[in-house]
Structure 1
Amino acid sequence: MDQAEKKRKLMVGGALIATLIAAVLVEEEETVIDTVDTIQPVKPSGDRVRNQENNVEQLDVSKLGQRKFNALAGELFASTTWAPKQPQVNPEEQAIIAAQAAKASAPPPAPTAPPLQFKYAGKAIVDNETWVFLSQAGENLIAKLGGKINDKYRLDSINDDAITMTYLPLNTKQILTINTKMVGNF
């Protein structure tokens, strides 16, 4: 057993002995209090009783009057809140706020198809099938009539001036114009 542990045990033992002594002393005091005769209430002396009677005669309740309430005190049982009070709004501001609320509550506009991001690169006709070559953000795409492009567009028709596509999520037709004019000398 090391020195610190011995010291700890001595302190705990001393505390235990002090607790036992205190418990014995408290029990002895309780028995002393139990043996004392019952205490009789003290009766006021004659002078004190006379002074109290005189005070009663001097006190006139009718002189107290009615209690007056202050209007600024507010309602006693009103509910309270920590939220700040809203400032008063004049009619012009109220009309503006109502117009903004009407705009906010109006249904959102119907969704529209995004603008076509394709560029026409060319076309080829093989075995009576027309294939169109398109590019989108540096990516080359090939599609035939009735085929899908990126699972979002369907190629509907091709002529010399335009390509008609359908945006599939909204079933909206879109037209991609073909610029066939070549610039420069060949």
Structure 2
Amino acid sequence: MDAAERKRKIIIGSALIATLIAALLVEDEEEFAFQMAEAPLQPFRTTQEKNRKPETNTVQLDVSKLGQRKFNSQAGELFASTTWMPKQVMRNDPEEHEFKIVQPVKIAPPAPTAPPLQFKYAGKTIADNQTWVFLSQSGENFITKLGGKINDQYRLDAINDDTVTVTYLPLNMKQTLTINQKLAGNFR
């Protein structure tokens, strides 16, 4: 066995011995703590308290003579209830205290409306006495004539120089698409 290996074994051996000693000390502390926990606790008394004789007659304090605590009036009421509801005034009117049967109010849901038009006008052309309109929506192009359907949800009803009128078929509601004359061109 060479010197380096011998030195390594001495270090490992002394570490093992130190670990065993530490484990034994920890076990002793746990047993001591366990024994202390089982013993009933006695209140700590000074030597003067131990030598003092217990008093047999005690004086009763009249609490009503202490009075109430005075608070600063600017502090307000510390435990006041806070609410956004206005205070209700109680009246001594006998009719006011009678129970009244009130029918619940039924609120009708709002009427359905057509979604806003997402079409953009691309142009129009007239061929064989029929007007064809070019519309685009989200990169998809549609070509339809008057009375034709778009996506089975819209029907082209009318076209003039300023507007295109379509009907939203699920609700049978008419909607108008404004044509920007500067950008729109007529194809013939």
The bucket for the TM-score relative to the shorter chain is: 0.3 to 0.5
More helix by share: 1
For normalisation by structure 2, the TM-score amounts to 0.42
Between 1 and 2, higher relative CO (CA 8 Å, sep ≥ 6) is seen in: 2
Select the structure of larger CA radius of gyration. 1
